[in-house]
Amino acid sequence: QAAAIARAARYYPDGYRGMGGGRAQDYGIGVTRDEATSWVNSQVLVIPMVEDVEAVGNLDDILQVSGADVLHVAASDLGQSMGNPGVSEVRRVMSEVIPRVRAGGKSVGVGGNNPADTAGVAEFINLGANFVTVSGWGLLRIGAEDFLKNVNAAL
């Protein structure tokens, strides 16, 4: 799947992305098709998800896929594929996957993080995570709570 995703995101000769005459090819103005597609291919970032136990089991093969630039470990979906064993078991598996991805020469992201769990996020970063995704709603909630606390303190 990772190889198919990487090829679908890029134009020939690196892939088989659909071709048109739109913005991605500068509307055919000033550059050749080869120049446009070569430039677009150089700008693409492909981030396959490691979101089930099958992907964890196939991690070594996925790491060999050219064009899969970053692997993103998704906690919630991974946990579901594990039978919902609880946060600590999912984090244990993620803690094994992160350094394996980095050792394989790729960047790794982690998702499904509670924005209030700063220690947990820091742990993943210390293990090698290059980027972290958290709930935007959770960040908004934390900011609103902090704002309300500061307003109440000023009253």
**75 shares a domain with 51:** yes
**67 shares a domain with 13:** no
Q: Domain of residue 18: give its range.
A: 1-44
**How many domains does the chain divide into?**
2
Residues 6+ apart with CB under 8 A from 69: 45, 46, 47, 106, 107
Per-residue pLDDT of the chain (155 residues; tens, 9 = 90+): 899 999 999 999 999 998 776 665 666 677 888 888 898 899 999 999 999 999 999 999 999 999 999 999 999 999 999 999 999 999 999 999 999 999 999 999 999 888 989 999 999 999 999 999 999 999 999 999 999 999 999 99
**93 shares a domain with 23:** no
**70 shares a domain with 24:** no
pLDDT tens-digit map of 78-95? 999 999 999 999 999 999
**88 shares a domain with 111:** yes
Return d(Cα 42, Cα 65) in angstroms, integer: 16
Query: Residue 27, Cβ neighbours under 10 Å: how many?
Result: 12
**123 shares a domain with 111:** yes
**88 shares a domain with 143:** yes
